[in-house]
Chains A and B, each alone.
Chain A
Amino acid sequence: MNSLILRTATRLLVSLVLLFSIFVTLRGHNEPGGGFIGGLIAASAFALYSIAFGVEALRRAFRFDPRAVAGFGVLVAIISGLLSLPAEAPFLTGLWLTFELVPGEKFALSTPLLFDLGVYLTVIGGVIAIMLALEEEGL
């Protein structure tokens, strides 16, 4: 769609929505949010981009094949499950690495976070692949 207003607003909005999706993803687990909803928000940002600039521009902006991104997300999720093997815990057991970088402030790295990032990538890749297939089918 060739609209100057939409294209100008999209440039601003896409970055804002992607930032919000990362915020929602990282806040997950302890508070409402998580990989799935974050991935959906990010995918809607790319949907807006494809409406404003066209499908080819979206392919260039996304850089990777969306199906490959979805597959990589599943791989990351599986790796987060396998990390419990060295700890001799069942598959997908949540393991936590807690640092105290600043006194009193705990910084936690965990396998659930890795799993959430895998879900995030899978949802982005899957939704964008569906969207591209529908767009290129010719509406």
Chain B
Amino acid sequence: MIPTDAFLETAATISAIVLLIAMLIVILRAILGPSMADRVLALDLLTTLAIAFVAIVAVLYGQVVYLDVGIALALVGFLATVAFARFIARGGTENARKVEGDD
């Protein structure tokens, strides 16, 4: 194997591991809450991390097609966040309002 390829593979593997750790932390935030906005933000960040992970998979396996998944996620992924933001702005559910009242 050419040295540059080995370096690229090592770098991609390390960044994949770092991204996985970041995803775990973000999922922990989504579970813990405490407010609904925290969970929505965690989901949004999870989408961003997924885009980065897909890009690394594309580099590691040399599959250009994976990049399209990343493009689609980047273009559409924040739609859920916007919809959730509107949901919160309109008052959310009874439960969410109660939790936010506690803060």
Do chains A and B interact in one complex? Answer: yes
Q: Does B97 contact A (CB under 8 A)?
A: no
Q: Does B89 contact A (CB under 8 A)?
A: yes
Q: Does A20 contact B (CB under 8 A)?
A: yes
Q: Mask for A50-82, Cβ within 8 A of B = 1, else 0?
A: 010000000000000000000000000000000
Give the residue name and chain of the A residue nearest to B75 (CB). Answer: A17
Inter-subunit contact B76/A41 (CB<8 Å): yes
- A44-B76 contact in complex given A1-B86, A51-B82, A51-B86, C-beta closer than 8 Å: yes
- For the complex, would chain B's binding face be called helix, strand, loop or mixed by DSSP majority? helix
A residues within 8 A CB of B82?
1, 6, 48, 51
- A24-B68 contact in complex given A1-B86, A1-B89, C-beta closer than 8 Å: yes
Of residues 14 through 47 on chain A, the ones whose CB sits less than 8 Å from some CB of chain B are: 16-17, 20, 24, 31-33, 41, 44, 47
- For the complex, would chain A's binding face be called helix, strand, loop or mixed by DSSP majority? helix
Inter-subunit contact A32/B68 (CB<8 Å): yes
Inter-subunit contact A51/B83 (CB<8 Å): yes
Q: Does B65 contact A (CB under 8 A)?
A: yes
Cβ contact of B75, chosen from A6, A20, A33, cutoff 8 A: A20
Inter-subunit contact A31/B65 (CB<8 Å): yes
Tell me, rounded to whole Å, the shortest Cβ–Cβ distance linking A57 to chain B: 15
The 10 closest A-B pairs by CB, nearest first: A44-B76, A17-B75, A1-B86, A32-B65, A48-B79, A51-B82, A44-B79, A20-B75, A41-B72, A47-B79
24 A-B contact pairs sorted by A residue (CB < 8 Å)? A1-B85, A1-B86, A1-B89, A6-B82, A13-B75, A20-B71, A20-B72, A20-B75, A24-B68, A24-B72, A31-B65, A32-B65, A33-B68, A41-B72, A41-B75, A41-B76, A44-B75, A44-B79, A48-B79, A51-B82, A51-B83, A51-B86, A139-B87, A139-B90
